[in-house]
Chain A
Amino acid sequence: EVQLVESGGGLVQPGRSLKLSCAASGFTFSNYGMHWIRQAPTKGLEWVASISPSGGSTYYRDSVKGRFTISRDNAKSTLYLQMDSLRSEDTATYYCATTGSSLIDFWGPGTMVTVSS
Chain B
Amino acid sequence: DIQMTQSPASLSASLEEIVTITCKASQGIDDYLSWYQQKPGKSPQLLIYDATSLADGVPSRFSGSRSGTQYSLKISRPQVDDSGIYYCLQSYSTPYTFGAGTKLELK
What is the CA–CA distance of A110 and B4 in the complex, to the nearest angstrom?
24
A62 proximity list for chain B (CB < 8 A): 95
Chain B residues whose C-beta falls within 8 Å of the C-beta of A108 in the assembled complex? 43
Check A102–B98 contact: CB distance below 8 A: no
Interface residues on B, range: 20 to 34
List B residues at the A interface (Cβ < 8 Å). Answer: 32, 34, 36, 38, 42-46, 49-50, 53, 55-56, 87, 89, 91, 94-101
User: Within 8 Å of chain B (Cβ to Cβ): is A103?
Assistant: yes
- Chain B's interface: helix, strand, loop or mixed, by majority? loop
Give the size category of A's interface with B: 20 to 34
A103 & B91 in contact (Cβ 8 Å cutoff): yes
Say whether A44 contacts B100, CB under 8 Å: yes
Bound complex: CA A85 to CA B88 (Å): 30
Q: Which residues of B contact A107 (CB under 8 A)?
A: 43-45
